[in-house]
Structure 1
Amino acid sequence: MKLRLVFIFVFISAVSFAQNPYVFKHLNVEDGLSQSSVLSIAQDAKGFMWFGTRFGLNKYDSKNFKTYFLEKGNPNSLTSSQYINTILCLKNGTLLIGTPAGLNKYNETSDNFERFQHNANDIAGISNNLIRHIYQDRQNRVWIGTGNGLNLLDPNKKYRFKHFLVNKVHPQDVYQIYQDHTGTIWLGTSKGLMSMLINKGGTRFKHFKNFSDSLDVAVDNHITSIAEDGNDNLWIGTKQTGLYKLNLITHQITNYTYSILNTKGISSNNIRKITQDKAGKLWIATLHGINIYDPKSKSFSTIQNEPGNPSSLSQNSVYAIFQDRQGIVWVGSYFGAVSMVYPNYTPFNVYASSNTSSGLSSQVVSSIMEGGNRNLWIGTEGEGLNYYNSKTNSYIHYKYDPNNRNSLSSNLVKAIIKDRQNRIWIGTHLGGLNEFKPETNSFVRYTSHKNDTSSLGNDEITSLFEDSYGRFWVGTNSGLNSFDASAGKFIRNRINGLEDAVNYIFEDSKRTLWVATNTGLHYLKNNESRFKRRTADSPEKLKYNEISCITEDKLGFLWLGTARNGLFKLYPDQHAYSQTTKLDGLPSNNIMGILQDDSNNLWISTDNGLCKYNPQQKTFKTYNTKDGLPGNEFNQKSFLRDRSGTFYFGGLSGMISFRPDEIKENTSTQPVIFTGLKLFGKPVSINANSNLLNANISTVKSITFKPEQDVFTVEFTLLNFIKPEKNRYAYKLDGFEKNWNYVANPAASYTNLSPGHYTLLVKASNNDGIWTKQLSRLNIEVLPPYYRTWWAYLSYVCIVAAIFILLVRYLLIRAVLTREKEINEHKLEFFTNISHEIRTPLTLIVGPLETLIEKSQNEPQWSKALQPIKNNADRLMRLVTELLDFRKAESGKMQLHVSPGNVVKFCREIFIAFQNMAIAKQIDYQFTAEREEIELYFDKVQMEKVLFNLLSNAFKFTPDK
Structure 2
Amino acid sequence: MLKLAMLITDKYVLSMKFLVLLLLSMLYFVAANHGQSVQFRKLTSNQGLSHNTVYAISQDEKGQMWFATREGLNRYDSYQIKNYYIKDSLPGVSPDKIAAILCKKDSIYIATEDGLYIYDQKTDQIARSQALLARLSVLCLFKSAANVYVGTTNGLFKLAGNTSRLISPKNSAVRAMEQLSPDRFLISIGNKLEIIDKEGKVWKTFDAHTFAPLAVGNFDVFNMYKDGRGFIWLCTNHGLYYFDNDRQAFVRLHFSHAESREVNTVRAITSTDKDLLYIGTENGLYTYQLSTGKSENYGQSFDNSPKKLNDKAVYSAFLAKDGSIWLGTYFGGINYIPSNTYAFERIMAQDNGKGLSGKAVSQMMEDSNRNIWIGTEDGGITIYNPLKDSYSYINKTTSPFYLSINNVHAIHADGYGNIWVGTFLGGLHKFDLKTQQTTIYTNKPGDTNSLSSDNVYAIYRDSRGTLWIGNQAGVNIFNYQTGNFSRFRPEVFGNKFIYDITEDKNGDIWFCTRFAGIYRYNPIGGSFNHYSADGPNPVLTSNQVISLYQDSKQDLWFGSLGGGVMLFDFKSDTFKSFTTADGLPNNNVYGILEDGAGYMWLTTNRGLSKYDPATAHFTNYNNKYGLPSNQFNFKSYLKSSEGSLYFGSINGLCFFHPEKIAAKHPLVPLIFTDFQLFNKTVIPSAHSVLPKQIDYTHHIKLSYNQNVFTINYAAIDYANPGSTNYAYYLKGFEDRWNYVSGKNSITYTNLSPGNYTFYVMALTADGAPQSVQRSIEITVMPLFTRPS
How would you bin the TM-score normalised by the shorter chain? 0.7 to 0.9
Q: Does 1:716 align with 2:713?
A: yes
- Contact 2:357/2:376, CA 8 A, preserved across alignment: no
Amino acid at match of 2:150: I
Match of 2:463 in 1: 468
Equivalent residue in structure 1 for 2:99, among 60, 66, 85: 85
- Contact 1:483/1:491, CA 8 A, preserved across alignment: no
- Contact 1:56/1:84, CA 8 A, preserved across alignment: yes
Which stretches in structure 1 are left out of the alignment for 5+ residues? 1-15, 118-123, 399-406, 795-961
- CA offset digits 1:482-539 (Å, max 9, x no partner): 4424332426348999998755321357766444575766364xx7354575999xx9
Distance 1:497 1:375 in 2: 32
Provide the secondary structure at the position in 1 that maps to 2:740: strand
Equivalent residue in structure 2 for 1:151, among 146, 149, 157: 157
Amino acid at match of 2:186: W
- Contact 2:281/2:315, CA 8 A, preserved across alignment: yes
Q: Does 1:338 align with 2:334?
A: yes
Distance 2:731 2:632 in 1: 42
Distance 1:299 1:433 in 2: 42
Match of 1:180 in 2: 180
- Contact 1:670/1:719, CA 8 A, preserved across alignment: yes
User: % of aligned pairs identical?
Assistant: 27
- CA offset digits 1:800-820 (Å, max 9, x no partner): xxxxxxxxxxxxxxxxxxxxx
Match of 1:45 in 2: 61
CA drift at 1:193: 1.0
Distance 1:447 1:671 in 2: 65
Provide the secondary structure at the position in 1 that maps to 2:187: strand
Match of 1:302 in 2: 297
CA drift at 1:285: 2.3
Question: Aligned in 2, Cα 1:203/1:413: closer, same or farther, shift over 3 Å?
Answer: closer
Match of 2:222 in 1: 224
CA drift at 1:179: 1.3
Amino acid at match of 1:185: F
Amino acid at match of 2:57: I
Which sits farther off after the overlay, 630-639 or 498-507?
498-507
1:693-772 to structure 2, matched below 5 A, reads 693-737=690-734, 738-765=736-763, 770-772=768-770
Equivalent residue in structure 1 for 2:142, among 127, 135, 142: 135
Amino acid at match of 2:718: F
Distance 2:94 2:426 in 1: 73
Match of 1:22 in 2: 38
Amino acid at match of 1:82: D
Distance 1:500 1:204 in 2: 86
CA drift at 1:27: 0.8
Q: Does 1:272 align with 2:278?
A: no
Amino acid at match of 1:484: N
Which sits farther off after the overlay, 330-339 or 96-105?
96-105
Provide the secondary structure at the position in 2 that maps to 1:268: helix
Match of 2:12 in 1: none
Amino acid at match of 1:25: R
Match of 1:926 in 2: none
Provide the secondary structure at the position in 1 that maps to 2:264: coil
Provide the secondary structure at the position in 2 that maps to 1:327: coil
Amino acid at match of 2:725: R
Question: Aligned in 2, Cα 1:616/1:175: closer, same or farther, shift over 3 Å?
Answer: farther
Match of 1:214 in 2: 212
CA drift at 1:781: 3.0
- Contact 1:730/1:740, CA 8 A, preserved across alignment: yes
Match of 2:608 in 1: 610
- Contact 1:192/1:212, CA 8 A, preserved across alignment: no
CA drift at 1:654: 4.6
TM-score normalized by the length of structure 2:
0.78
Distance 2:262 2:508 in 1: 60
CA drift at 1:39: 0.8
Match of 1:246 in 2: 243
Distance 2:286 2:209 in 1: 22
Distance 2:34 2:283 in 1: 18
Distance 1:455 1:232 in 2: 70
Equivalent residue in structure 1 for 2:380, among 373, 383, 386: 386
CA drift at 1:455: 7.3
TM-score normalized by the length of structure 1:
0.66
Question: Aligned in 2, Cα 1:583/1:428: closer, same or farther, shift over 3 Å?
Answer: same
Equivalent residue in structure 2 for 1:112, among 117, 125, 131: 125
- Contact 2:380/2:408, CA 8 A, preserved across alignment: no
CA drift at 1:45: 1.8
Question: Aligned in 2, Cα 1:210/1:412: closer, same or farther, shift over 3 Å?
Answer: closer
Aligned length: 730
Distance 1:552 1:646 in 2: 17
Q: Does 1:68 align with 2:84?
A: yes
Amino acid at match of 1:206: K
Question: Aligned in 2, Cα 1:229/1:447: closer, same or farther, shift over 3 Å?
Answer: same
- Contact 2:585/2:607, CA 8 A, preserved across alignment: yes
Question: Aligned in 2, Cα 1:528/1:20: closer, same or farther, shift over 3 Å?
Answer: closer
CA drift at 1:260: 5.3
- Contact 1:350/1:629, CA 8 A, preserved across alignment: no
Distance 2:88 2:521 in 1: 82
CA drift at 1:194: 0.6
CA drift at 1:32: 0.9
Match of 1:316 in 2: 312
The RMSD of aligned alpha carbons is 4.7
Match of 2:279 in 1: 284
- Contact 1:427/1:434, CA 8 A, preserved across alignment: yes
More strand per residue: 2
Equivalent residue in structure 1 for 2:203, among 193, 202, 205: 205
Report the structure number with the largest CA radius of gyration: 1
Distance 1:644 1:397 in 2: 31
1:403-802 to structure 2, matched below 5 A, reads 415-420=410-415, 434-435=428-429, 443-446=440-443, 463-475=458-470, 481-487=476-482, 488-490=484-486, 492-493=488-489, 504-508=500-504, 513-516=509-512, 518=516, 522=520, 524=522, 528=524, 530-531=526-527, 542-543=540-541, 545=543, 547-569=545-567, 580-596=578-594, 602-613=600-611, 620-627=618-625, 629=627, 631-640=629-638, 649-651=647-649, 653-660=650-657, 667-687=665-685, 691-737=688-734, 738-765=736-763, 770-784=768-782, 786=783, 789-790=784-785
Provide the secondary structure at the position in 2 that maps to 1:698: helix
